[in-house]
Amino acid sequence: MNALLNWLFGVDRLPFGDEGVVFAFQRPLPAWGWAAVVACAAALAVLSYRRLEGGRGVRGVLASARGVVLVLLAMLACGPSLMREQVRIEPDWVVVLVDRSASLTIEDAHDAAGRPISREAQMRAALAGASEEFARLSRDRRVLWLGFAGGAFELEPDGSGIAELGAPTGLSTSLGGAISEALRRTAGRPLSAIVIVSDGRSVDEPAASAIRQLRQERVQVVVTPLGSAEPMSDLALGVVEAPSQAFTNDLVRMHVRVDRHGAGDGPGAVVRLVETSTGRVVDEQRVEAGPAGSHALTLATRHEHAEGVWYSVEIVPEGRDLSVRNNVRQVEVAFVDRPLRVAYFDGYPRWEFRYLKNLLLRERTIRSSNVLLAADRQYIQESDVLMTSLPRTTADWSAYDVVLLGDVRGELLTTVQAEALREHIASRGAGLIWIAGSGATPRTWRESPLADLLPFSPSAFSGGDPPVWPEPVTLVPTEAARLLGVLALPGTAGGGSAEEEGGVDLTDPAGGWTLLRWAQRIPTSSLKSAAEVLAEGRPAGGSSEASALVISMRYGSGRVLYVATDETWRWRFGRGEALSERFWVPLIRLLGSDSLGRGGQSASLRATPTDVLVEQGVRIELRVLDQAFIDARPSSTPVAIRRKQEGLARPVTAALVRTDSAESAAMSFGGLWTPTEPGEYVISVNDPRLVDKTQPVQVTVRERDDELRFPEADHGFLARLAASAEDLGAVVPIESLHTVPPMLQRRELRLEAPPEVETLWDKPWALIALLTLLVVEWVGRRMLTLA
């Protein structure tokens, strides 16, 4: 039938019976209009044939023909056509933002059986359970999957309705930036909703303009939080400071800062120092349970052989810890087997000199030069290594790791000698120990260049000498000494208890021999800002406050100690030489360890600071004493900077430019390196003439926004984000993720274009029908007239 109609009406573009094709008038009349047209046509037809002679039947047929012609003309005037509406449905968009940062590796979620799982596993399980709903959503709506960490990136669908997620490796999260990117990608399109699957960790918040746009466009915001809603405690290694080199059999101290993050009290833990090659635990310290904060610890070890040793500093939590990725740090220490070189100068053979000199000569790990300086510039010495003349230059002083100055007059060292010694301590890490005396120290050193190395201000005392205690004192080490591993004496915090030490308590004045009968009284108010007290002098009668007795101060690369008494020899009456050795040897070795990485070498490499953030500058300095290298007069020298992680590109080479003056005895180079990526870096000299003469240095570079430093989830931030969308915001538990697709609003657009039209009034049928009716009427009229 439709084919017949198509043939009769000559239709080709819009056939009868096609979907959506309807008959319509381009200029339609209302029903009453058509009624009027029919009435008028009938009236005209009747009036035309009422007076005409002829049979009533014939006139009725001819009148009907005329009426039909009139109605047909009216229909053609209205434009009969076949029409099909042009309507296009623009599907709305749903954006799913999936967190791909490293914080998803934190195990603070639980599976259906209550077992701990990571946030990543929690999310994948929820997405798998909601795959059918998301697949159904994708069939009639546009679903855009975006992963986000430091930035947003598109995720490819995997065919099951869920996107290919990949591993969560981002070191920071920018949720605000991800929302802005989602709005940018869907600009000009009907955006129905943004679904956010995240733990809430973010370095930024959505911009105010983005929030306004969400509200104005009535975009639904649905957040599904990951991880634990209850803040959990996390232990993390903050800073690990360890020397790059140390003497064999020396006590090597590593200063560790343990940070506890999160709300509420966290579990205790044991911090261990493990020798990596053997797995042997060489030291451990306990961190008690408690609230958030930082804890400073000191771990110590010894090693017998001259070699490089890798150690691991590890946190072993006693309860559940939020993240284990920040619980381990690797450090390397190169052990060197050579004697410590000491020079000891005093003004006269006082008892302290005699016993300390013998101690130095007796100690097998020390090579000493012990000299008595007289006012007539003659000197008497009893030494392992004879000193042919007093050191004058920095190069001369470099033969010694530690210098001891007793009660010797300041003018016995010339200004040039004193300046060279100061430079040796500041730049090469050597140590200086002042041993106070009643004759010259520190009074005669006020005008010397070495006055800068006194840990207190001589001008604070009348005549330059601190006052002397009017009564005997006992030596009591402080917590600072314990952290440094020195002054571990009987009855003190760093040593054993009196019971463990055979009843000996060095802080007890009742023994008599424990009393120091001469000591300078140095109040802490006179100390310089960089000084710290390692031991206090407490009066035997307890009549007044204690004063500083052993003082430490960093000076440049080295360290200075001031011992405000020369009475430690008295301890031999109680326990022979053992107590003097426990007092002096660790102090001397503490100062000598700093010089190992810089002194006694033909070149030394240094980087400061060694723990930095991305885009923070690191100063690299190289000091060269090798004469053959100096004679070559290079203007620069290369260093190689390599990340320790596997699979990385070849090392970066940087040039250090010369920074020393022409008259300097050593050649110095310096440069600034700005790391752009986080990681553990090793910096080494890349010049073949110096490769075997320098030790590499390590630098730790951290991400500025490293969220693993604070890995707890932030569900409150996600709740505030949902609330910013007003009535269109919702928080849905991750277990109910499958309910999210059905609850999303529909915002597809119905776009109507001008309809497709095929006119019928200009087809041949219209002319044929009209002519046929007219011919019929004309023939009928002629027949009536002839009759």
Q: What would the pLDDT profile of 745-761 be if each residue is shown by its tens digit?
A: 988 777 666 777 777 77
**Residue span of the structural domain in which 54 resides:** 2-86+758-786
What are 100-121's pLDDT values in tens digits?
988 888 888 888 887 888 889 9
DSSP classification of residue 466: P
Give me the number of domains the chain comprises: 5
CA distance 682 to 281: 25
Write out pLDDT tens, residues 563-595.
Answer: 999 999 888 887 778 888 889 999 998 888 877
Q: Residue 100 maps to which CATH number?
A: 3.40.50.410
Alpha-carbon distance of 624 to 622, in angstroms, equals: 7
**Cα 93 from Cα 192, distance rounded (Å):** 6
Helix (H) / strand (E) element for 284: namely strand 280-287
Q: What percent of the chain has pLDDT over 70?
A: 89
Give the per-residue pLDDT at 169: 83
Predicted pLDDT of residue 428: 79
Q: Is residue 527 part of a domain?
A: yes
Could you tell me whether strands 402-405 and 729-731 are parallel, antiparallel, or unpaired per DSSP bridges?
A: unpaired
722 contact partners, CB below 8 Å, separation of at least 6: 221, 222, 223, 729, 730, 731
Query: Which tens digits make up the pLDDT trace of 254-263?
Result: 888 888 876 6
Nearest to 437 by CA among 533, 373, 499: 373
Residues 436 and 460 in one domain: yes
Together in a domain, 24 and 106: no
Question: Going edge to edge, which strands form the sheet with 191-198?
Answer: 152-154, 142-148, 93-99, 191-198, 220-225, 729-731
Query: Where residue 787 falls among pLDDT bands split at 50, 70, 90?
Result: very low
Is 644 a member of any domain? Answer: yes
Residues 158, 239 share a domain: no
pLDDT of residue 95: 93
DSSP code of residue 677: S
Whether 194 and 242 map to the same domain: the answer is no
CATH code assigned at 667:
2.60.40.1930
| CATH code assigned at 315 | 2.60.40.150
| E strand map for 121-205 | 142-148, 152-154, 191-198
pLDDT tens digits for range 659-677? 876 555 567 888 898 888 8
pLDDT at 647 over 50: no
Please identify which residue in the block is written with the tokens 């309910």. 739
pLDDT greater than 90 at residue 418: yes
- What does the alpha-carbon distance between residue 56 and residue 48 come to, in Å, rounded to a whole number? 13
The reply to whether 330 and 371 lie within a common domain is no
Q: Does 458 have pLDDT greater than 60?
A: yes
Record the pTM: 0.61
Domain boundary among 295, 319, 335: 335
Say yes or no to pLDDT of 598 above 60: no
Report the largest interatomic distance among the alpha carbons of the chain, rounded to a whole angstrom: 173
Which two structure tokens, joined as six digits, stand for 769? Answer: 């029908």
How high is the pLDDT of residue 197?
94
- Is residue 587 one of the residues assigned to a domain? yes
Q: Does 252 lie in the same domain as 171?
A: no
Which of 335, 362, 389 delimits the end of a domain?
A: 335
Among 290, 320, 335, the domain-final residue is: 335
Does residue 490 form part of some domain?
no
Does 79 lie in the same domain as 126?
no
Average pLDDT score over the chain = 83
Using CA atoms, how far apart are residues 561 and 558, in angstroms rounded to an integer? 10
Mean pLDDT of 287-306: 84
- Within its chain, how far is the Cα of 440 from the centroid? 53
Distance of alpha carbon 575 from the chain centroid: 53
Cα 236 to its chain centre, rounded Å, is 13
| pLDDT at residue 436 is higher than 90 | yes
Average of per-residue pLDDT across 464-468: 84
Which DSSP string corresponds to 230-244? Answer: S---EEEEEEEE--S
